[in-house]
Amino acid sequence: MQVHATINGTARADLVFTTRHSEKPYCIEYVPGEVTVEFSIDNAPVDQLRILVKNKTEGYIQLLKLFVDSIDLQHSIYSGTFYPNYNVNYYQTQHPPESYSPATEWYHNGEWCLDITKPIWEYMVKNYA
């Protein structure tokens, strides 16, 4: 399956694109600006798309668009959940949530996850028709 993810933001970070069943993650060094990342994922009937954000600098990173096999998952990206890896001092003083959704803007290191089923067109029909 082919995935196209469009990312924008003001921070630098290492981004790792993978799935729950993938043994071959796709990694990039993200720099501020808009970029479309293209990669392949294994075909499992029930899976989870994941974007790991690590070594992020000050600023944010935003998931703008997501296509799987040329099918626009724009409505689905708001169902994704971000699990931040907060700085210890920030976590102790601010008491932020352990995760948040919708989560298309990321201000911390962490992992964004979206549960999907395949074929992707059937997933879209069941969830958004």
CATH number at residue 60: 2.60.60.40
Under 8 Å between Cβ of 37 and 28: yes
Total-model pTM = 0.88
pLDDT recorded at residue 69:
87
pLDDT recorded at residue 129:
55
The DSSP symbol for 91 reads H
Distance CA 91, CA 104 (A): 21
Could you tell me the residue range of the domain that residue 68 belongs to?
2-128
pLDDT recorded at residue 119:
77
Distance CA 127, CA 2 (A): 20
Helix (H, G, I), strand (E, B) or coil at 123: helix
**Average pLDDT per consecutive 10 residues, the chain (129 residues; last block may be shorter):** 93 94 88 94 81 96 94 88 91 90 94 87 71
| Number of domains within the chain | 1
pLDDT recorded at residue 65:
96
